[in-house]
A and B are shown apart, each in its own frame.
Chain A
């Protein structure tokens, strides 16, 4: 069965600093991988998604992620964090079958210090 692990429940960074949020997945084959963000009192919004191909994926608001098959990872990065990035970030994996069902990690709460 597919699964996703986000090992860091909380991450705190200073505004302007770089960011990496970790995601490890378990899936037989090559999956579709996603990062979603949830701002306070809102639903989830897509940041970026990975299709088999270029391992580095660009997303919105300066976010990018890198797929590694050897490490079973899909870590999210940003070069310079802004206070508005304060949110919960979810990594998710999907099967290739036509169901669109996502398996989510538990999320990482990002706090931005001024």
Chain B
């Protein structure tokens, strides 16, 4: 088995601030994902990466940057935090990124912007 570790678990920022979320996986999976979860809503894909140094935009990439410098890690940056923004950011991985594969999720980073 493996695990996905997201840090920090809670992140409080100020309006306009640049904030970085980190994700590590020890599954040795090729593909990693960042999803945003708003209260009462489903998950929306922000970025994904099919291999080291690869980045692909999802449906919600505006306002975010991502970085995949190692196979095991995938970072997400909120480029300018929006006031009153509250969401949970979930990192996930899958073996190769094929459509039928299972995604394995971390427990999330909860963002609050004051």
Q: Are A100 and B103 in contact (CB under 8 A)?
A: yes
Within the assembled complex, what's the spacing in Å between the Cα atoms of A41 and B107? 7
**Count of chain B residues with Cβ under 8 Å from any Cβ of A?**
28
Once A95-B99, A99-B48, A99-B99 are accepted as A-B contacts, the answer to whether A44 and B90 lie under 8 Å apart by CB is yes
Within the assembled complex, what's the spacing in Å between the Cα atoms of A49 and B101? 9
Which residues of A have CB within 8 Å of B42? 4, 90, 104-107
Question: Is the interface on chain A under 10, 10 to 19, 20 to 34, or 35 or more residues?
Answer: 20 to 34
Q: Are B105 and A94 in contact (CB under 8 A)?
A: no
> How many pairs of A and B residues are in contact by the CB < 8 Å rule?
71
Which residues of B have CB within 8 Å of A100? 31, 33, 48, 94, 96-99, 101, 103
A90 to chain B minimum Cβ distance, whole angstroms, is: 6
The answer to whether B2 has its CB under 8 Å from any CB of chain A is: no
Within the assembled complex, what's the spacing in Å between the Cα atoms of A90 and B42? 7
Which residues of B have CB within 8 Å of A56? none
Interface residue ranges, A against B (CB under 8 Å) = 4, 9, 32, 36, 41-46, 49, 51, 90, 94-102, 104-107
